[in-house]
Amino acid sequence: MFRGGQTLLTVIAVSRSGAVDLRILNSVVKNNICTASVMADKFKLPERYGAGEKSVWVEYIQLASEYKPKVNLGQGFPDYHAPDHVTKNLAEITTGDNPLLNQYTRGFGHPRLVESLSKLYSPLVGRQINPQNEILVTSGAYEALYSAILGHVDTSDEVIVIEPFFDCYEFMIKCAGGTPRFIPLKPKPSECGTQTSAQWVLDPEELKSLFNSRTKMIILNTPHNPVGKVFTMEELEMIADLCKKFNVLCVSDEVYEWMVYAPKKHIRIATLPDMWDRTITIGSAGKTFSVTGWKTGWAYGPEALMRNLQVVHQNCVYTCSTPIQEAIARSLEFEISRRDSPDCYLTALARELLPKRDFLVKSLTENGFLPYVPEGGYFIVADWTKLGGKIDLSKESDRHADYRFTKKFAKEAGVLTIPPSAFYSEQNKCLGENFARFCFIKKDENLALADKLMKEWNAKQ
């Protein structure tokens, strides 16, 4: 009598007596529930994706559009223009004389871009990087991570992940069938009163205990999101020694490589003795040139390792946007040509960000937070718990206190931030709950507005 796909309303509408027959209604409801549950069982999200079902980015970008916070210090992107030459390059390319610059380009990376990446990085890693087979251009650093992880991790492999971690690492490892093994950075007490990201350290014994014959990879992120830690030579040596001892790959996520505040220096783990052969390094044009919407990144490393990334890339993305790659190539060429000048954006960026960092650190401290001054990147992690008595979180329903705090704070103070427990594994989420992450690559006037809003909020409590 009923065909699959008929809705309840259709069935009621065709009932001959014109009255609703309860037996028919019951059977339709039963059938529909049954079909729904059979379908739900078969078409549920595959088990291995479980870790990625909830996304802090999806949720907080939605919140930004709902709450309309007066200042958004959440997702990491600048609210001001990239350098002029970068955006002008793209405008010129798309309407310029060469129609081919709007068509497909070489799959593993636009020739001009891989050439310029090789020119940029070869002196930094102390060896000639082959642009043809040692560099892969990807759809953002996200896809570089995806290709590196999916290209190397097999079922039964273990991958060591340092917490807090950029949230997609866990999803990608599980997607590949691997098992993440987590180790948290723990903040040790400050020796000088000022708190800095350098206090967040690994326990060497705990790290050692995670390495075994099943370990395929460790993911390093320096400068670190969200803490802002820049790993020291000693820390990198400890990681490198374990990688060599246990024959493990290092995927080094260095998207914030140009945002390091003196006297700290960014060290590429690929440059440590015998590490080139076992390291894949990842960068991002979005972060390098303050154009996060361009979603172009890259990975570089030895040919033998890069081959596996190429296989993943050629079967899921194949080739990235040509005009954007050409624009990044021209922009890099320009920056390389003025590499020694203080105007070079690769140097100027950190100089431009430093007063913003210091302004926000001061403002947070004055407003009752306990910030850790970041040595790199453009985020500040700050403990909010001293404000606990001033904010009523009892009506917020989230499981983790940092989600409750950041949502209530956005609603009351008008300043949106990110809850760091999103950067921890399920078992360690409590380690992130006392913090909120603030992004400071924002116009001075917006940082000043955030300060004003926080002061007004504090005065009202």
CB atoms within 10 A of CB 437: 26
CB of 440 to ligand PMP, least distance (A): 14
Q: Which does 297 bind (CB under 5 to 8 A by kind): ligand GLN, ligand PMP, none?
A: ligand PMP
CB of 418 to ligand PMP, least distance (A): 11
CB of 287 to ligand GLN, least distance (A): 8
Nearer to ligand GLN, 75 or 385 (CB): 75
Q: Which of 222, 233, 229, 226 is nearest to 257 (CA)?
A: 222
Nearer to ligand GLN, 57 or 246 (CB): 57
Nearer to ligand GLN, 134 or 253 (CB): 253
Alpha carbon distance 193, 429 (integer Å): 27
Q: Which of 174, 147, 160, 151 is nearest to 282 (CA)?
A: 147
Nearer to ligand PMP, 76 or 414 (CB): 76
Q: Which does 221 bind (CB under 5 to 8 A by kind): ligand PMP, ligand GLN, none?
A: ligand PMP
Name the residues that contact ligand PMP, by CB under 6 A. 76, 140-142, 166, 221, 225, 253, 255, 284, 286-287, 292, 295, 297
Distances (CA, A) of 412 to 69, 145, 373, 375, 460: 9, 37, 25, 30, 10
Q: Which does 105 bind (CB under 5 to 8 A by kind): ligand GLN, ligand PMP, none?
A: none
Cβ atoms of 294 and 113 closer than 8 Å: no
Q: Which does 57 bind (CB under 5 to 8 A by kind): ligand PMP, ligand GLN, none?
A: ligand GLN
Please tell me the number of Cα atoms within 13 Å of 427 on its side-chain side: 6
CB of 349 to ligand PMP, least distance (A): 14
Name the residues that contact ligand GLN, by CB under 6 A. 57, 75-76, 225
Nearer to ligand GLN, 187 or 228 (CB): 228
Nearer to ligand PMP, 225 or 310 (CB): 225
Nearer to ligand PMP, 369 or 378 (CB): 378
Q: Which residues of 30-58 are buried (b: 16+ CB within 10 A; e: fewer)?
A: eebeeeeeeeeeeeeeeeeeebeeeebee
Nearer to ligand PMP, 283 or 368 (CB): 283
- Give me the sign of the Cα torsion angle 9, 13, 19, 25: negative
Q: Please measure the distance between the N-terminal and C-terminal CA atoms of the chain and give it in whole angstroms.
A: 65
Q: Which does 67 bind (CB under 5 to 8 A by kind): ligand GLN, ligand PMP, none?
A: none
CB of 308 to ligand PMP, least distance (A): 19
Q: Where are the beta strands (DSSP E) in 292-441?
A: 297-300, 370-372, 379-383, 415-416, 435-439
Distances (CA, A) of 343 to 334, 339, 356: 11, 8, 18
Nearer to ligand PMP, 137 or 364 (CB): 137
Nearer to ligand PMP, 273 or 293 (CB): 293
The phi, psi pair for 423, rounded to 5°, reads -100, 20
Q: Which residues pair with 150 in a beta bridge?
A: none
Cβ atoms of 377 and 259 closer than 8 Å: yes
DSSP-derived secondary structure for 244-285:
HHTT-EEEEE-TTTT-B-TT-----GGGSTT-GGGEEEEEEH
Name the burial class of residue 159, with classes exposed (0-12), middle (13-18) and buried (19+) by CB atoms within 10 angstroms of its CB.
buried
Q: Three-state SS for 459?
A: helix
Q: Which does 75 bind (CB under 5 to 8 A by kind): ligand GLN, ligand PMP, none?
A: ligand GLN
Indicate the DSSP class of residue 160: E
CB of 289 to ligand PMP, least distance (A): 11
Q: Which residues pair with 380 in a beta bridge?
A: 438
CB of 77 to ligand GLN, least distance (A): 7
Nearer to ligand GLN, 2 or 57 (CB): 57
Q: Which does 118 bind (CB under 5 to 8 A by kind): ligand PMP, ligand GLN, none?
A: none
The residue number with the shortest CB distance to ligand GLN is: 76
CB of 461 to ligand PMP, least distance (A): 32
CB of 417 to ligand GLN, least distance (A): 11
Residue 209, both tokens: 């205990």
Q: Which does 434 bind (CB under 5 to 8 A by kind): ligand GLN, ligand PMP, none?
A: none
CB of 166 to ligand PMP, least distance (A): 4
The residue number with the shortest CB distance to ligand PMP is: 140
Q: Three-state SS for 348?
A: helix
Q: Three-state SS for 230?
A: coil
Residue for token pair 């093994």: 181
CB of 432 to ligand PMP, least distance (A): 15
